Chains A and B, each alone.
Chain A
Amino acid sequence: QVQLQESGPRLVKPSQTLSLTCTVSGGSIRSSYWTWIRQPAGKEVEWIGLVSTSGTTKYNPSLKSRVTMSVDTSKNQLSLMLSSVTAADTAVYYCARAQFYEYVWGSYRYDYYMDVWGKGTRVTVSS
């Protein structure tokens, strides 16, 4: 079964760029969608963005100007870069696989749900 493992620096200085990698094992990264989610301690879960192996990306509007997500199919990895970080970016960061589905509810709709999650990695922004 597919397993995900986040990795990257645990401590990032303010104004720098946070860079994380998610390694996919037990399955191929191809032909799937992948997401990044974060959870500040004691606060709400926040969806960061989605990336497909074809290169399509969608980002949370509140983070869009600072986020870059990509996929490296040769390494079975996805990556997250978040620039100009502040203390507000301190959180546990998760990668997750997103499953696409379609349905009709009055009209055609499509959506995703996250069915496999990594264990998460805690990133602290501090000088």
Chain B
Amino acid sequence: SSELTQDPAVSVALGQTVRITCQGDSLSNYYATWYQQKPGQAPVLVIYRKNHRPSGIPDRFSGSHSGNTASLTITGAQAEDEADYYCNSRDTSDFHWVFGGGTKLTVL
């Protein structure tokens, strides 16, 4: 089981804003990284270093962090944003990384 907790599923109306959260003790010490994964594809980096976007990622994606919770916000969700989203963080107990269980985002 994950040491990072995510809601299994979230839905959002087209064009609306959605927040996907990730909670865990490690997030009190390390930033979260967020990945988007579409069916049959490899994960794609969308947010790193808490709130940085790689080139090519739309600016509707943003990251934030408070206490032991990290959030990925999509402002004005598009149909192509429908995917699984995973948070990832360095573990505090040892030099390794853990992933959240993933959140399946449905765009209605």
How many A-B residue contacts, CB cutoff 8 Å? 60
A20 → chain B, closest Cβ, in Å? 15
Whether the pair A94, B42 counts as a contact (CB closer than 8 A) is yes
Evaluate contact between A59 and B96: CB separation under 8 angstroms. yes
Taking the nearest CB of chain A, how far is it from the CB of B52, in angstroms?
9
**Inter-chain contact B45/A47, CB cutoff 8 Å:** no
Stretch among A8-16, A23-31, A78-86, A111-119 lining the B interface: A111-119
Q: Given that A45-B102, A61-B94 are known contacts, is A113 also in contact with B49, CB under 8 Å in the complex?
A: yes
Residue on A nearest B4 in the bound complex, by CB: A44
Q: Chain A nearest CB: distance from B50 CB in Å?
A: 9
Chain A residues within 8 Å of B, Cβ to Cβ: 44-47, 49, 58-61, 94, 99, 101, 103, 105, 109, 111-115, 117-120
